[in-house]
Amino acid sequence: MMFLRCLRYKKVVLLGFFLFTIVYLFVRALHVIVMQRDEDVIKVRNAYVQNHERDAYEKLIRDYEKRIIQGLGDYGSPAYLAGEEKELGNKALTKFALNTVLSDRMPLNRKLRDPRNPLCKQFTYSPTLQATVIIIFFNEILSVILRTVWSVILKSPKHLLKEIILVNDASTDENLDGLLQHYINTRLSGYNITLLRLKTRMGLIRARLQGARVAKGDALIFLDAHCEATEGWIEPLLSRIEEDRTAVLVPIIDVIEANNLAYSTNGFLAFNGTFLGESFQVGGFNWAGHFTWIDIQNDEDKNSLKPVKSPTMAGGLFAIDRKYFWEIGSYDEQMEGWGGENLEMSFRIWQCGGRLETVPCSRVGHIFRDFHPYSFEKDTHGINTARLAHVWMDDYKRLFFLHQPSLENNPIIGDLTHRKQLRNKLRCKSFKWYLQNVYPEKFIPDENAQAFGQVRNRFDMCLDDLQLGDDKVGPLGLYPCHPYLAISQFFTLSSKGELRSENFCAEVFDNSQIKLTECHGHKREQFWMYFTNGTVYNPFSGKCLSSQFVEDSKGLKVDQCKKNAHQKWKFTHENLTALVT
């Protein structure tokens, strides 16, 4: 009996276990089915969202295309809007330093006239290299970016254009992600265009490196996102690199006006359409660490259409052999934001065996803004320039740190070990060699000078160039002395008797007015004598530099020499043995 009871109990347990297993498996299967259905719902929902976004993007683009005014700005002519759009464009100009309303109304593939010297057409270029064009942007106007891309596509032979890489430097404008990608997918699908989006803002230097790392072309061509390429722009750049892989090339950079998007060149035509001539400048720099435009010094090069030596480059537009870019040190990755990287690369190229040249038969338009519509938290230009000064300028860095003394021994500039090792590895020449062989016309303000620095009068007022532009003529001004040696208040009395800022000389006009103008080295109106009693005398006019009756921020004059405080001046640094007693 006991045995039978145990047997029945085991059967019940087994039956219960069997039933439990069946129920468990059923529930589990049901759960899997439900979960699978949920996943399917998520996939369907995501697909719907993507399709919905694509539809929305397509509608935005079609609406935008309908508003385009065909022919507006064709051949680089200035364009204008009327009524409310004109007012909106003017407001945009004050906010973005660009007439964005006009840009949005202008065709993305507008026609441009050929701005080259007609003799350029006689050259035959047959490069075999292919280029990767790298364009980086941060919150740039979408129409401006697309006009840059379209110009590259339309003006570059397809066999020379390997790819275009767009690098979005963590823009906050959402249109520069999905909408831009949709435009590329639907309107530019026949071209090899890659859009990279950086998760955090890196700045121009590091963003360009991100693009360069994935590039596949034989040569890299860097462009700003607000450019327009023109006929025949790419062939001479690639041909020159093919001739000399250590040559780094910059095109002539023409001006696209920010207010009306007119394409302006330095060339000019006669009424019958005959090309009369043109002029262009190459790159220089000032001792405060800023890029400047300078005239070509060699007379033979002035009329040449062959590549011309350039001491520096602006940095926004240049072409370089891709492998050589890495061999020569690419960019200093510890530089932040933007600024200074162009001079660092310019000095490095020349000092380490390369060449930097301007190519007259390659022309690209560039929108020059009056101000940057965005900023960085730090003075990245100053920090970056301090880095290049320590690494590349040798003892001449003293002239930069006269203007930026707080950066000379400041740990904020970061570790320089790697860049100094690079200089040693590449066996680079000295900065003195650079000045003597590449930029011999560069004025060195503290060498063979009678006096230099701030020029102060007894009323704590200083000579000032009043922010005179590099290509302008303006008054020699008077302004309260800065507590530091600002570039606008740095003057030298040279061994030739020139009273000069870095790029201009003080000249007497109409026997009384003093203007800063191009130094000509012929003495006369630009010849000055500095006496130990503080008098600054101009022998041509027979008068002395005077601040009497001169208002703050106004131009100085020469006046009859008198023994008064308004004609007494003091330079920060003086060579007493060179002064007139």
pLDDT over 90 (residue 39): no
**SS3 category, 167:** strand
117 residue type, one letter: N
Residues 346, 111: Cα–Cα separation, whole Å: 33
Residues 536, 567: Cα–Cα separation, whole Å: 7
Higher pLDDT, 424 or 303: 424
Q: Which helix (H) or strand (E) element contains residue 188?
A: none
pLDDT over 60 (residue 4): no
Question: How confident is residue 6, by pLDDT bands cut at 50, 70 and 90?
Answer: very low
pLDDT tens for each residue of 46-58 = 444 467 788 899 9
Place of tokens 């640094």: 573
**SS3 category, 537:** strand
pLDDT tens for each residue of 248-300 = 999 999 999 999 999 998 654 333 444 445 678 999 999 999 999 998 888 77
Determine the pLDDT at residue 268. Answer: 43
Task: Please tell me what DSSP assigns to residue 274.
Answer: -
**SS3 category, 276:** strand
pLDDT tens for each residue of 139-183 = 999 999 999 999 999 999 999 999 999 999 999 998 898 999 999
C-alpha closest to that of 296 among 288, 305, 41, 287: 305
Determine the pLDDT at residue 121. Answer: 93
Both tokens of residue 350?
């020349």
Higher pLDDT, 373 or 452: 452
pLDDT tens for each residue of 305-319 = 999 999 999 999 999
Task: Please tell me what DSSP assigns to residue 408.
Answer: T
pLDDT tens for each residue of 108-145 = 999 999 999 999 999 999 999 999 999 999 999 999 99
pLDDT tens for each residue of 389-407 = 999 999 999 999 988 999 9
Break the chain into its structural domains and give their ranges: 449-578
Determine the pLDDT at residue 472. Answer: 74
Determine the pLDDT at residue 32. Answer: 42
CB within 8 Å of 401: residues ≥ 6 apart: 386, 389, 407, 408
Per-range mean pLDDT, top range of 23-32, 429-438, 483-492 = 429-438
Average pLDDT over every residue of 532-548: 94
pLDDT tens for each residue of 328-352 = 999 999 999 889 999 999 999 999 9
How large a percentage of the chain has pLDDT more than 70? 88
Q: How far is CA 257 from CA 111, 228, 534, in A?
A: 16, 12, 46
What are residue 555's DSSP bridge partners?
A: 477
At the topology level of CATH, where does 449-578 sit? Trefoil (Acidic Fibroblast Growth Factor, subunit A) (2.80.10)
Determine the pLDDT at residue 269. Answer: 39
Both tokens of residue 265?
């060149």
Question: How confident is residue 34, by pLDDT bands cut at 50, 70 and 90?
Answer: very low
Question: How confident is residue 11, by pLDDT bands cut at 50, 70 and 90?
Answer: low
Determine the pLDDT at residue 9. Answer: 52
Question: How confident is residue 35, by pLDDT bands cut at 50, 70 and 90?
Answer: very low
Determine the pLDDT at residue 502. Answer: 85
Backbone angles phi, psi at 47, to 5 degrees: -60, -40
Determine the pLDDT at residue 377. Answer: 67
Determine the pLDDT at residue 314. Answer: 95
Determine the pLDDT at residue 48. Answer: 43
